[in-house]
Amino acid sequence: MTRKKNSFWRLCFSFLPGAGEMYMGFMKMGISTMSLFMAVFFIAVTLEFGALMIVGLVIWFYSFFHVHNLASLPDEEFYSIEDDYIFHLDAPSERGRNFYKNNRRILAYALILMGVVTTWQGILNLLYDYLPEILYRYIRHLSYDLPRLLIGIGIILLGAAMIRGKKKEIGEMEWEDEDGK
C-alpha cells in the first residue's frame, strides 16, 4: 500500500536509488530504478569504465528527487499515482517490442563484450602465478586500456552516426520545403 511515511526515514532511504520509492510502497518503481542503477554500476565496474557512472549519477539524482516530489504531492494526487515499472516489463508494449527487435543485435554484442571482458579478467588472474612479472604487467596494462579504447572509439562512431543521421534528416526537410513551395 502506498502512503506517505516518516520524513526522516524517507530521506534516509532516498539516498539509495529505488529504496525511497519502495519505502513509500511504490515497489515496481523502486525495483526498476534500483535495477537500472545497479546494472549501470555493474557494467561500469566490469568494463572498468568509470565515465559510465555519470549515467549512474543521473539515475541517483532522478531517484532522490522523485521520492521527494512524490512526498510533496497533495494527498489526493499522491494516492492516485499508479505504481508501474519504468520499462513496463509486466506487459511489453508494441513500442517496446519494436525497440527490442531493432536493437537486440546491439544488446547481444554488449552482452558478448561483457562476457569476454569478464572471462579475460578471470583468465588473467589465473595466469598471475605462471607468467613472468613483466609480461603479466604488460598484458594487464593492455587489458585495462584496450576495452576503454574500444569503448571510446565506439562512442565516437555512435556520435558520428547520430550527426550524419541528423544532417540527412535536415537535408530531407530542406528538400520537402523546396518541393512544397
Residue 2 lies in a domain: no
Residue 33 lies in a domain: yes
Rounded distance between C-alpha atoms, residue 78 and residue 76, angstroms: 6
Q: Do both 11 and 72 map to the same domain?
A: yes
pLDDT tens digits along 95-141: 666 767 777 888 788 788 778 877 888 888 888 888 898 998 888 88
Q: Do both 161 and 129 map to the same domain?
A: yes
**Domain coverage including residue 52:** 7-80
pLDDT tens digits along 68-82: 888 888 888 888 888
Q: Domain count for the chain, please give it.
A: 2
Q: Do both 51 and 117 map to the same domain?
A: no
Which residue's C-alpha cell is 512524490? 70
* Position 88, amino acid: H
Q: Do both 110 and 176 map to the same domain?
A: yes
Q: Do both 76 and 19 map to the same domain?
A: yes
Q: Do both 117 and 49 map to the same domain?
A: no
Report field, pTM of the whole predicted structure over 0.75: no
Residue 99 lies in a domain: no
29, 53 contact by CB (below 8 A) = no
Last residue of a domain, one of 80, 114, 137: 80
Residue 96 lies in a domain: no
DSSP assignment of 90-126, as one string?
SS--HHHHHHHHHHHHHHHHHHHHHHHHHHHHHHHHH
